[in-house]
Structure 1
Amino acid sequence: MAKLLIVDDERNIRRSLTTFFESLGHVVRAAENGAQAVALLAEMQFDLVLTDYKMAEMSGLELLREIKRRAPESLVILMTAYATVENAVEAMKSGAYDYVTKPFSLEQIQHTVDRALHVGSLTAENRALRSAIDEEPLLDSKSPAMQRLLETARQAAASDATILLTGESGTGKNVIARQIHRWSRRQSKPFVVVNCTTLSEELLESELFGHMRGAFTGAVKDKPGRLEAANGGSVFLDEIADLTPTLQTKFLRFLQEQNFERVGGERTIHVDARIVAASNRDLDSEVAAHHFREDLYYRLNVITLRVPPLRERREDILPLAQWLLNIAAVRNSHPGLAFSPGATAALTRYRWPGNVRELRNAIERGTVLMRGETIAPDDLPDSLFHESTEALAGIPNAASLDEVEREHIARVLGASATLEEAAETLGINVTTLWRKRRRYGIE
């Protein structure tokens, strides 16, 4: 429930409102004047302040301004028996959430307070979510491979050269593409995304180049394409290997001349747009198999950046996981969540074939299904633990028990940040783990 502050110089009103809101489960403090209210504000943070407008020494309006200076996130509702339009306007301009006229029933003031607290809760949630999302974990990588990629991407962003991003699905190629745009001189212009896998050839051609009225069934009016929308900015073509041969030819002409015609149109349109393309397929193999035009490939392959999979940058798994947890926790109304040591070990041990996308889904699941105060191993998908079982199953049947134990300890140590973490995962104490390391000669 919420923390409320009641400020009124009439004792009966203070007591009545305090008793009523305490009966609803709120934490309530009361003050008979502005000075007492300011003193209470110094002691604790209130979600909402309900104050009389007309009081001696410090008026409700003056108190409102002091509250907004000290605790801008606190909501304020003014109460008055002397309502005027001018007073109401002045109160709202000074930051009051609402303005109520005495006398009022307890049900009326409850409705106003409930509505204010609901709005305040939504505002706080949006603020927390925005704060979490605004962080850029991919851009603060501890992985040498990722650091080299980002350094090259920043250097390439300063030019207008076409950039090709390669790498497995879910590695964050779209995030890198957007950052290249932000680093470029085109940052104030549009960044337009086109996913080449989601539309038929006819619709994708229209999406890219636009169409004229009557060009095909359903074309009821002229429509500019995404390339026109990106004029002066950047276009990100995701999964470009899915372009059909016809669209490959038309797009090659655009790359060469920066010109095209809309579907069904005759007027040549010139567009200045920087192209960033991405593919999770091996385009060399696609060219060799005659599925992708060689000349288009070389036009795209001016600067190629390979985004490493998550298993090749294990240093980033936990920072990414915590960032994703912050977002999921706010979205699911569980702020301040953390991972248990066992969950941390499971996250770092797993190979993440689905990369960041799979990590995001696993953490969303854990946030929704958690039963304690932290994300525990049982809250995470079973797939994170099946992989370890399968890895152990790969040990030869003729292996001795000591060989199996040595292999398992070595694997857990390699996936753990500290001896303490490895010991917890193995279910033994640190001293026992240290002795086993010496026995098996594990560095």
Structure 2
Amino acid sequence: MADTKAHILVTDDEKGIRNTLKEILEFEDYEVSTAESGSEALEMISKEEVDLMLLDIKMKGIDGIETLRQIRTSGFEFPVIMISGHGTIDIAVEATKMGAFDFLEKPPDLNRLLLTVRNALSQQDLAKEVKQIKKKLPQIQEIIGESKAIIRIKSMIDKVAPTQSRVLITGENGTGKELVAKWIHEKSPRANAVFVEVNCAAIPADLLESELFGHEKGAFTGANEQRIGKFEQADGGTLFLDEIGDMSLDAQAKVLRALQENKITRVGGNESINVDVRILAATNKDLEQEIKNGNFREDLFHRISVIPIKVPALNERAEDIPLIAEACLKKLKTTDISFSSVKFTESGLNALKKRLWSGNVRELYNAVERLGILATDDLIDEEAVESVLSSKKIEDSDLSNLADSTSNFQDFKETAERIFLVKQLEKNDWNISQTADTVGLQRSHIYNKMKKYNIER
């Protein structure tokens, strides 16, 4: 610590040990406080800043392991060095799993003690520097909107993020399910650890197991070296399983086992590997219907959907469309100077509110980019919206006739979606990649919808 003395808290129920360690550390020019129990230490760290703790494992009342657990669950990140006169490998492993920096046996060797303290404080300084740098980096995109639905989503994120509960995020393609997952991670105690994403729909079924759990060298043809899977990569952090509804039943069974045991085994391996991962999952499918159809395991559904969050479609929160459109244009201006003088008129924003957004926020972003490029005199007004996006107006006669023919909202929505998709495929000569780019969806989602609505050329 460059300018101020590092503050070390020595916690041990033996007075002689406390005093000896205090004397040694003060001689090295550290500021030292002492506590004779876990409860006293917890009270002290709630009132004053601590840079490092030396913590005895065997104490009366709350022992060292439980004290460490409470320190970490309370969000304190300073390094903790465990000390014990009854050291075993099992205790050392358990303490390390819970976030202890190191483990020393009593009586500690003086040179090793001082070296461990210096290393721990250096790591703490580095962690603080990383945190400061992280604050200066671009932040996660905000969830934009002032509608009741979005206020509800933000409130739900604030409630569930600090917990370890698994969350299932549902909603149509392009609504922002990934963004919700990132904010849950960002506001969680795991925010400084990794956020690992897997798109289950984009990975072939025969490769998904290797992607999730890794594989050993020689496990199968082409496995020329060991590979660490997403579960191991996310250890200590968050694993986001996007489009989990597209996961094969075989892969579902293995994911379920990993969630039950907090252990994984690499493909071609025999060793069980402990993993500490928070699972967030997302899907655009109705998993309860998929369960009835035999495509999704009910036991896995209950494991991943402790907290369900439904992200509303853009058409269900039309009042947010002007805010989102302005934000999309602002983002485009930061990456492309050609958008710098482009502006929306009030009539242009109102025209966007009247349109049907089957691709949701992702489609709106693409539409804003298109409008910005084609805008006359750098103004996006009602006329520009109508001419550039002419095929998607809500008041179109086709949709009006469709609305007259059914009173069931789900039937209307799915029929309209099918009509729109067929028209776009025809416009693009049934080129799936080109259609996906045009409407702002991933190719896998186009294939899924074609299968869902039995669309063939």
TM-score w.r.t. the length of structure 2 is 0.55
1: CA distance, partners of 2:237 / 2:400 = 52
**Secondary structure at the counterpart of residue 273 of structure 2:** strand
The residue type equivalent to 1:369 in the other structure is: L
**Secondary structure at the counterpart of residue 396 of structure 2:** helix
Cα deviations across residues 78-99 of structure 1 (Å, max 9, x unaligned)?
Answer: xxxxxxxxxxxxxxxxxxxxxx
Match of 2:221 in 1: 217
Q: Quick check: 1:179 aligned with 2:183?
A: yes
Q: Quick check: 1:382 aligned with 2:367?
A: no
2: CA distance, partners of 1:225 / 1:244 = 17
Within 5 A, what are the aligned runs for 1:316-395? Answer: 316-333=320-337, 334-380=339-385, 381-383=388-390, 386-390=393-397, 394=401
Q: Is the 8 A contact 1:236 1:275 kept in 2?
A: yes
Q: Is the 8 A contact 2:216 2:267 kept in 1?
A: yes
Q: Is the 8 A contact 1:209 1:260 kept in 2?
A: yes
CA 1:238/1:393 → structure 2, altered by over 3 Å: closer, same or farther? closer
Which deviates further from its counterpart, 225-234 or 197-206?
Answer: 197-206
Query: Which of 253, 257, 264 in structure 2 is aligned with 1:253?
Result: 257
Q: Is the 8 A contact 1:191 1:235 kept in 2?
A: yes
Q: Is the 8 A contact 2:171 2:310 kept in 1?
A: yes
**Secondary structure at the counterpart of residue 237 of structure 1:** strand
Cα deviations across residues 255-309 of structure 1 (Å, max 9, x unaligned)?
Answer: 1111110011111111101000001000000001111001111111110011111
Q: Is the 8 A contact 2:168 2:282 kept in 1?
A: yes
Q: Is the 8 A contact 2:356 2:393 kept in 1?
A: no
Q: Quick check: 1:189 aligned with 2:193?
A: yes
Cα deviations across residues 21-53 of structure 1 (Å, max 9, x unaligned)?
Answer: xxxxxxxxxxxxxxxxxxxxxxxxxxxxxxxxx
Cα deviations across residues 214-257 of structure 1 (Å, max 9, x unaligned)?
Answer: 11221110010111111110011100011111100000001111
2: CA distance, partners of 1:217 / 1:341 = 60
CA 1:162/1:393 → structure 2, altered by over 3 Å: closer, same or farther? closer
Which deviates further from its counterpart, 186-195 or 197-206?
Answer: 197-206
CA 1:383/1:252 → structure 2, altered by over 3 Å: closer, same or farther? farther
CA 1:309/1:215 → structure 2, altered by over 3 Å: closer, same or farther? same
Within 5 A, what are the aligned runs for 1:236-315? Answer: 236-315=240-319
Cα deviations across residues 132-183 of structure 1 (Å, max 9, x unaligned)?
Answer: 9747441x53111221122112111111111000111110000000000000
Q: Is the 8 A contact 2:141 2:179 kept in 1?
A: no
Query: Which of 147, 153, 167 in structure 2 is aligned with 1:143?
Result: 147
By how many angstroms is 1:327 displaced? 1.4
The residue type equivalent to 2:357 in the other structure is: W
1: CA distance, partners of 2:349 / 2:232 = 46
CA 1:132/1:223 → structure 2, altered by over 3 Å: closer, same or farther? closer
By how many angstroms is 1:311 displaced? 1.2
Q: CA RMSD in A?
A: 2.5
Q: Is the 8 A contact 1:210 1:223 kept in 2?
A: yes
The residue type equivalent to 2:165 in the other structure is: A
The residue type equivalent to 2:336 in the other structure is: N
CA 1:292/1:135 → structure 2, altered by over 3 Å: closer, same or farther? closer
Cα deviations across residues 368-406 of structure 1 (Å, max 9, x unaligned)?
Answer: 222312123454443465432227853999xxxxxxxxx
2: CA distance, partners of 1:360 / 1:339 = 14
2: CA distance, partners of 1:266 / 1:329 = 53
Instruction: List alignment gaps of at least 5 residues for structure 1.
Output: 1-130, 398-443
Q: Quick check: 1:202 aligned with 2:206?
A: yes
By how many angstroms is 1:348 displaced? 1.1
Computing the radius of gyration from Cα coordinates, the structure with the larger value is 1
1: CA distance, partners of 2:371 / 2:208 = 37
The residue type equivalent to 2:354 in the other structure is: R
Which deviates further from its counterpart, 219-228 or 388-397?
Answer: 388-397
Match of 2:55 in 1: none
The residue type equivalent to 2:346 in the other structure is: P
Instruction: List alignment gaps of at least 5 residues for structure 2.
Output: 1-135, 405-457
**Secondary structure at the counterpart of residue 313 of structure 1:** helix
2: CA distance, partners of 1:135 / 1:240 = 23
By how many angstroms is 1:199 displaced? 1.1
**Secondary structure at the counterpart of residue 304 of structure 1:** strand
Match of 1:105 in 2: none
**Secondary structure at the counterpart of residue 388 of structure 1:** coil
Q: Is the 8 A contact 2:240 2:279 kept in 1?
A: yes
2: CA distance, partners of 1:260 / 1:165 = 24
TM-score w.r.t. the length of structure 1 is 0.57
The residue type equivalent to 1:374 in the other structure is: L
The residue type equivalent to 1:216 in the other structure is: F
Q: Is the 8 A contact 1:346 1:384 kept in 2?
A: no
The residue type equivalent to 2:159 in the other structure is: Q
2: CA distance, partners of 1:373 / 1:337 = 4
The share of aligned pairs that are identical, in percent, is 40
1: CA distance, partners of 2:180 / 2:354 = 25
User: How many pairs were matched up?
Assistant: 267
